[in-house]
Chain A
């Protein structure tokens, strides 16, 4: 028993001595060389040198060194980590969906994950963080975190080229590693929604103000200079009526939009035959088409195409689309309306295409025409009694019906609006 313990202790001591000698091998060799050189040059005896060597080796074996303890601790920590052992920090950084950048005490970038690279290009390794992120509050944050103050969070806004808002947090990595991590959380979306709401109110009041200003101007004239002018009065009253009609239309559109927004997810389960519905909408708009010098060119299948949905809302969709085609496609002399059953997506859909042959829409406007009050050309829209809300309403109703709207257009060749609705 005692022998066994002694043997074990002996083995451990031997292992320790080996390790100490191994880790000190370079200084030892240097010492040996130095002692030999001194011995030869000074003409001393050889055994003096050997004795000196022996002492140096003994000291190297006996003197404990801190490095060993630290190594042992590290290996213990790793074995505790278990499954995490094989994982590298790079894998971890890559798994973070938000931009994450590791930098050192000088502020040099050590690692930036993929999200950071795509958000903040160019960001080469070694470039200084302070130079890249120059906003005063970020500079302060970097300064604080490098001085070891508690981790703080600041908001950081980039205005150009695209407006982006981040909530930025910085913290040291581990203890005394000299590395720091900074994480950017994207807040742009919520900021954009807030902005859109504010813009909407501003736009809506602006839209209402214009006709109101013209009406009040005419009232002033009617009470003043034109008080007894029979002909002017009739003329002015006509204009005032047009303006009030425009305001009424705008308010109607605003109301139907807000109604739709109140319950965006409620699905209506009625059954609607698109052939019959689109046909009747086209018939009801025939007078308008004639007025604009257009004919509807209908290509309908001879059987019913049924979708589920709210009849009134779908009527509004096709009314808006056909009205737009009449307003902006006047130069094309005809408007094609076609209903098809397609399998473009994963399920069978009904596709209703309204194609006009007017001036078309420039590419840069296409993604935005369904925004509220977005107009490609304000003057044309006004003269055509547009409210700037038609396509916004269409898009809303289609979203409710699980449908979608695609717009294809080339300048000078007209525009095609296609409504896709899931078949019943």
Chain B
């Protein structure tokens, strides 16, 4: 019951991110508006899951597996809701970026980044569906890839802004879009950890991948 709703939320979240990035790349303002409107579904989903989970705990007093399942569901739904918010935020920025067309290579970069993040989200939700946590290590590898890509995009955008101050406003928006996508990857990792906990009852071994290195990037002018 809760699982079905999580799946529906996951589907919506994936779709929103996909459409937000598509709207950004194709400067499609209508699609962006649709994404912004769709966020309600996820908010509603999270509230519903919270309510149901609390009622379940209160009435049935679940133990062990069941309790883990319910608590995990609450956490996953919160993560998915955040993913939706990030997608919505990207969609909101479409309007600001539309006026000044930036070189196609940034959009290619964003697309590649979002493909990585979406793949991660999809695989994590697939693991939630199949409960096969053996191969969950891939999540971390992918997270490293996303971080590397984000750092390179960050550097590129920074350089581009230094070249011509007129680019700053739209590039800043693109920078935030990239950051949002990178955050989506982090939420996917969180979900993976929750799923691991639900299935095995143990925390995922701690060796969280290195974070992105963009905080160290300085471009000399």
Contact surface of A with B, Cβ cutoff 8 Å:
107, 122-124, 127-128, 130-136, 138-139, 158-161
A131-B128, A159-B118 are known contacts. Are A136 and B11 too (CB-CB below 8 A)?
yes
CB within 8 Å of A: which of B111-125?
115, 118-119, 122, 125
14 A–B pairs (Cβ distance < 8 Å), ordered by A: A122-B126, A122-B132, A124-B130, A130-B7, A131-B3, A131-B6, A132-B129, A134-B8, A134-B14, A134-B125, A135-B11, A135-B15, A158-B122, A161-B115
Inter-subunit contact A159/B18 (CB<8 Å) = yes
Inter-subunit contact B4/A128 (CB<8 Å) = yes
Number of A-B contacts (CB under 8 A): 60
Complex interface: chain B residues within 8 A of A107 (CB): 4
B93 at the interface (CB under 8 A from A): no
Determine the distance from Cα of A360 to Cα of B9 in the docked complex, in whole angstroms: 48
B213 at the interface (CB under 8 A from A): no
Q: How far is the CB of A226 from chain B (nearest CB, A)?
A: 23
Complex interface: chain B residues within 8 A of A127 (CB): 129-131
Contact surface of B with A, Cβ cutoff 8 Å:
3-4, 6-8, 10-12, 14-15, 18, 115, 118-119, 122, 125-126, 128-132
Inter-subunit contact B125/A131 (CB<8 Å) = yes
Q: How far is the CB of A143 from chain B (nearest CB, A)?
A: 10
A160-B118, A160-B119, A160-B122 are known contacts. Are A132 and B130 too (CB-CB below 8 A)?
yes
Q: How far is the CB of B133 from chain A (nearest CB, A)?
A: 11
Q: How far is the CB of B107 from chain A (nearest CB, A)?
A: 12
Complex interface: chain A residues within 8 A of B15 (CB): 135-136
Inter-subunit contact A136/B12 (CB<8 Å) = yes
Identify the 3 closest CB pairs spanning chains A and B, nearest first: A134-B11, A131-B129, A160-B119
Q: How far is the CB of A158 from chain B (nearest CB, A)?
A: 8
Complex interface: chain A residues within 8 A of B126 (CB): 122, 132
B3, B11, B18, B119: which contacts A128 (Cβ < 8 A)? B3
Determine the distance from Cα of A160 to Cα of B116 in the docked complex, in whole angstroms: 8
Complex interface: chain B residues within 8 A of A159 (CB): 18, 115, 118
Inter-subunit contact A123/B130 (CB<8 Å) = yes
A131-B125, A136-B11 are known contacts. Are A124 and B4 too (CB-CB below 8 A)?
no
Which residue of chain A has its CB nearest to the CB of B22? A159
A122, A123, A128, A158: which contacts B7 (Cβ < 8 A)? A128
Determine the distance from Cα of A124 to Cα of B129 in the docked complex, in whole angstroms: 9
Determine the distance from Cα of A124 to Cα of B128 in the docked complex, in whole angstroms: 12
| Given A128-B129, A134-B10, 18 other A-B residues pairs in contact with their CB atoms under 8 A | A122-B126, A123-B130, A124-B132, A127-B131, A130-B4, A130-B7, A131-B3, A131-B125, A135-B14, A136-B8, A136-B12, A136-B15, A139-B8, A139-B11, A159-B18, A159-B118, A160-B115, A160-B118
Q: How far is the CB of A410 from chain B (nearest CB, A)?
A: 26
Determine the distance from Cα of A141 to Cα of B161 in the docked complex, in whole angstroms: 47
Inter-subunit contact A139/B130 (CB<8 Å) = no
Q: How far is the CB of B65 from chain A (nearest CB, A)?
A: 16
Q: How far is the CB of A202 from chain B (nearest CB, A)?
A: 9
Complex interface: chain B residues within 8 A of A161 (CB): 115, 119, 122
Complex interface: chain A residues within 8 A of B131 (CB): 124, 127
Complex interface: chain A residues within 8 A of B119 (CB): 160-161
Complex interface: chain A residues within 8 A of B14 (CB): 134-135
Complex interface: chain B residues within 8 A of A122 (CB): 126, 130, 132
Q: How far is the CB of A344 from chain B (nearest CB, A)?
A: 38
Determine the distance from Cα of A136 to Cα of B18 in the docked complex, in whole angstroms: 13
Q: How far is the CB of B164 from chain A (nearest CB, A)?
A: 16
Q: How far is the CB of B20 from chain A (nearest CB, A)?
A: 12
Complex interface: chain A residues within 8 A of B132 (CB): 122, 124
Q: How far is the CB of A236 from chain B (nearest CB, A)?
A: 24
Determine the distance from Cα of A131 to Cα of B191 in the docked complex, in whole angstroms: 14
Which residue of chain A has its CB nearest to the CB of B130? A122
Which residue of chain A has its CB nearest to the CB of B4? A130
Complex interface: chain B residues within 8 A of A139 (CB): 7-8, 11
Determine the distance from Cα of A131 to Cα of B119 in the docked complex, in whole angstroms: 16
Determine the distance from Cα of A158 to Cα of B6 in the docked complex, in whole angstroms: 19
Determine the distance from Cα of A424 to Cα of B90 in the docked complex, in whole angstroms: 61
Determine the distance from Cα of A136 to Cα of B8 in the docked complex, in whole angstroms: 7
Determine the distance from Cα of A123 to Cα of B130 in the docked complex, in whole angstroms: 7
Complex interface: chain A residues within 8 A of B6 (CB): 131
Determine the distance from Cα of A139 to Cα of B119 in the docked complex, in whole angstroms: 20
Inter-subunit contact B8/A130 (CB<8 Å) = yes
Complex interface: chain A residues within 8 A of B4 (CB): 107, 128, 130-131
Complex interface: chain A residues within 8 A of B129 (CB): 127-128, 131-132
Determine the distance from Cα of A130 to Cα of B128 in the docked complex, in whole angstroms: 11
Complex interface: chain A residues within 8 A of B10 (CB): 134
Determine the distance from Cα of A379 to Cα of B89 in the docked complex, in whole angstroms: 36
Q: How far is the CB of B58 from chain A (nearest CB, A)?
A: 25
Complex interface: chain B residues within 8 A of A124 (CB): 130-132
Complex interface: chain A residues within 8 A of B7 (CB): 128, 130-132, 134, 139
Which residue of chain B has its CB nearest to the CB of A161? B119
Which residue of chain A has its CB nearest to the CB of B17? A159
Which residue of chain B has its CB nearest to the CB of A158? B122
Q: How far is the CB of B110 from chain A (nearest CB, A)?
A: 14
Complex interface: chain B residues within 8 A of A136 (CB): 8, 11-12, 15
Which residue of chain A has its CB nearest to the CB of B122? A160
Determine the distance from Cα of A67 to Cα of B15 in the docked complex, in whole angstroms: 49
Q: How far is the CB of B210 from chain A (nearest CB, A)?
A: 23
From B4, B115, B132, name the one whose CB has the most chain A CB atoms within 10 angstroms.
B4
Q: How far is the CB of A155 from chain B (nearest CB, A)?
A: 13
Which residue of chain B has its CB nearest to the CB of A122? B130
Complex interface: chain A residues within 8 A of B128 (CB): 131
Which residue of chain B has its CB nearest to the CB of A135? B11
Determine the distance from Cα of A136 to Cα of B4 in the docked complex, in whole angstroms: 12
Q: How far is the CB of A85 from chain B (nearest CB, A)?
A: 36
Q: How far is the CB of B196 from chain A (nearest CB, A)?
A: 16
Q: How far is the CB of A272 from chain B (nearest CB, A)?
A: 42
Q: How far is the CB of B121 from chain A (nearest CB, A)?
A: 8
